[in-house]
Amino acid sequence: MSERTSLIVGLEGLELLPQERSFLADARPAGIILFKRNLESASQIRALVGAARDTIGADALVLIDQEGGRVQRLRPPLGRALPPASAYAALYREAPDRAVRAAWLAARLLADDLRDLGIDTDCAPVLDVPVAGAHEIIGDRAYGTSPAQVVALGRAVGEGLMGGGVLPVIKHIPGHGRATADSHLELPVVGTSAAELEASDFVPFRALAGMPAAMTAHVVYTAIDAERPASTSPAVTSRIIREHIGFDGLLMSDDLGMQALKGGMRSRAEAVIAAGSDVALHCSGVLAEMEQAAAGTPVLAGAAMRRFASALAVRAGREPYDRAEAEAELADVLARHAAGIESV
């Protein structure tokens, strides 16, 4: 396996620029992440991914946020329509077994779509448990307000993605559901007791601790660390994520560029790695910022490299399924969701 930096980066546009190629060849990040600005056509996406992998190696991850609903970078006609997590939550209330099956089938279908474009990692499922009064940034991205329901549907999505050789990234560990602010814009602070967090928010992550990758939350939990968000807190990472939750997969930060964090990109990257994450994520595609982040991230080694190798191994998964059944179930969930919106 090639030597890699503990960093995943975005790209500026539709083609790999000469200066980006030079940066990737020098920094050798663990992967890249794609956004709408990078997506124009299937052939263009394959060419961009191919150029990046030619530069940094076939064992680099290619990430995308393709949850469904509000958060899907590939939209029709480039990618198929996907319902939000709340659509499966609604079906679960009527028919739990069918909802779980439908969620698995949709994820398995999505995995084929992504792999066809060269994408092997989906930043999903969301395992956050929202509460009344929380900021809407999670909202319909959640699979329910019951930890048990979130576990059932989240597991189905994660396993469906892995069944198609796509690495799922559970988020936002250890839980973003109580945040009363959007961490893209400011730092959320949660004052809930540790006991209550353990009884609710942390439950889905603990139940799915065997998943191969996770993304941290830029959220302060005052009962654990009143000074630092989870992503830069050694206490949250070691005591909660690694020990209480028991997660031993590849741990990456949420985007370093979000306004919940302070300081330059190098110091943000250093803080994430020092806290115990394996990989820092930088999404903007701004080259100067990527260079700063790269200066603050080490080469993957030891346990971090072991976890990275385990995450890569997911790409070999190929579980058979009935594609026609998957497409029919997805169409039905989309129709139910649309009917629900119209009836409001």
The kind and range of the H/E element at 294 are: helix 287-295
294 and 27 in contact (C-beta within 8 Å)?
A: yes
The kind and range of the H/E element at 295 are: helix 287-295
69 and 106 in contact (C-beta within 8 Å)?
A: no
Q: How many CB atoms lie within 10 A of CB 303?
A: 12
Catalytic sites, residue numbers: 184, 254
Task: Report the alpha-carbon distance of residue 195 to residue 242 in Å, rounded.
Answer: 17
Task: Report the alpha-carbon distance of residue 169 to residue 213 in Å, rounded.
Answer: 5
Task: Report the alpha-carbon distance of residue 66 to residue 77 in Å, rounded.
Answer: 15
Cα 300 to chain center, whole Å?
Answer: 20
Cα 65 to chain center, whole Å?
Answer: 6
Q: CB-hemisphere CA count at 13 Å for 250?
A: 29
CA R_g for the chain: 19
Q: Which of 34, 30, 39, 28 is nearest to 10 (CA)?
A: 34
Largest CA distance in the chain: 55
Q: Where are the beta strands (DSSP E) in the chain?
A: 5-10, 29-34, 61-64, 66-68, 71-72, 121-122, 167-168, 170-173, 189-190, 213-216, 220-221, 250-255, 279-282
* Main-chain phi, psi angles of 9, to 5 degrees: -130, 160
Q: How many CB atoms lie within 10 A of CB 223?
A: 15
The tokens describing 56, both together, are: 């940094």
334 and 81 in contact (C-beta within 8 Å)?
A: yes
- Amino acid identity for residue 180 in this structure: T
- Amino acid identity for residue 173 in this structure: I
